[in-house]
Amino acid sequence: MIATAFKSGREMYSATPSLIPQEPTLQHFDEVVGDDTFWQAAGNSAVATLATVVGATIVAFLAAVAVARFGFGGRRSFLFSILIMKMVPSIALVIPMYLIFTDAQLVDTAPGLVVAYMAAALPFAVWALRGFIIGVPVELEEAAMIDGCSQVQAFRRITLPLIVPGLVATSIFTMILAWNEYLITYFLTSSQEKYTLPLWLTHLVMSEGVRYGPLMAAATLIALPVAIFFMFVQRNLARGLTAGAVRG
């Protein structure tokens, strides 16, 4: 993908193609970044992704605390329903979701996309964070409460710092899901000014045919933010995945 993005049109269709571009060019990137609709879609994706990460992480954290630290009727059924929701394919949910969002007047709106992305991300986020929380012995909180902390203070001062890697890992996976989501966006978005980057990429192919140069350049630019972000947080991600690997 990256190599093709830097190839000229003549080199891409050469009878003797090469993996490394022999005549590197930025022509395809110039064409993509010069399109105003690309930046509009990038802004839509950034807003939807940021809102989804913040909202889903907060809701998942509260739900995970509830199922990990408090006993209540139906807790096992709730956990089972989370697993079931994670196993249901997205294509089976988009039509009921579209009907519900139509009644709620959330189709073709930014809040509608955020709510839909959160619904898709929450099953994994809740289950993952629950594993991190139950990995912290409750006796640590009890010891803090004996020393005079309230239950909230004990959780905030003892447990919360220990599950930060888990919060980071969950946020990263939520970000990747929201940034790359296509199917939900396709069903819930109709106007071009509301397109996110994955939908914009498909529209580019459909409207202009398969132009591999601009297509590969756009795909590279879309993948770049996630790759850069991952480079900065990979240590915390590894710590989070390791900490929660055997929890359940």
Indicate the CATH number for domain 25-243: 1.10.3720.10
User: What does the pLDDT read at residue 208?
Assistant: 56
70 vs 185, higher pLDDT: 185
The angle that helices 197-208 and 36-69 make with each other, rounded to 10 degrees, is: 140
What is the pLDDT confidence band of residue 67, given thresholds at 50, 70 and 90? confident
Residue 101 has pLDDT above 90, yes or no: yes
What is the pLDDT confidence band of residue 227, given thresholds at 50, 70 and 90? confident
Three-class SS of the chain = CHHHHCCCHHHHCCCCCCCCCCCCCCHHHHHHHCCHHHHHHHHHHHHHHHHHHHHHHHHHHHHHHHHHHCCCCCHHHHHHHHHHHHHCCHHHCHHHHHHHHHHCCCCCCHHHHHHHHHHHHHHHHHHHHHHHHHCCCHHHHHHHHHCCCCHHHHHHHHHHHHCHHHHHHHHHHHHHHHHHCCHHHHHHCCCHHHCCHHHHHHHHHHHHCCCHHHHHHHHHHHHHHHHHHHHHHHHHHHHHHHHCCCCC
Domain boundaries, the chain: 25-243
User: What does the pLDDT read at residue 174?
Assistant: 92
- In the block, tokens 């990995």 appear at 135
User: What does the pLDDT read at residue 148?
Assistant: 85
21 vs 240, higher pLDDT: 21
Residue 246 has pLDDT above 60, yes or no: no
Residue 107 has pLDDT above 60, yes or no: yes
Residue 157 has pLDDT above 80, yes or no: yes
User: What does the pLDDT read at residue 235?
Assistant: 67
27 vs 235, higher pLDDT: 27
Residue 245 has pLDDT above 50, yes or no: no
Tokens (6 digits) for 69: 């630290």
Rounded mean pLDDT, 229-239 = 68
Cα–Cα nearest to 29, from 160, 219, 181, 229: 219
24-38, 55-69, 156-170, 208-222: which has the minimum mean pLDDT?
208-222
Tokens (6 digits) for 241: 């995945």
User: What does the pLDDT read at residue 202?
Assistant: 82
User: What does the pLDDT read at residue 112?
Assistant: 93
Give, in degrees to the nearest 5, the angle at Cα 122 between 181 and 95.
55
Rounded mean pLDDT, 177-182 = 92
pTM: 0.83
User: What does the pLDDT read at residue 160?
Assistant: 86
Residue 46 has pLDDT above 60, yes or no: yes
Residue 247 has pLDDT above 50, yes or no: no
What is the pLDDT confidence band of residue 238, given thresholds at 50, 70 and 90? low
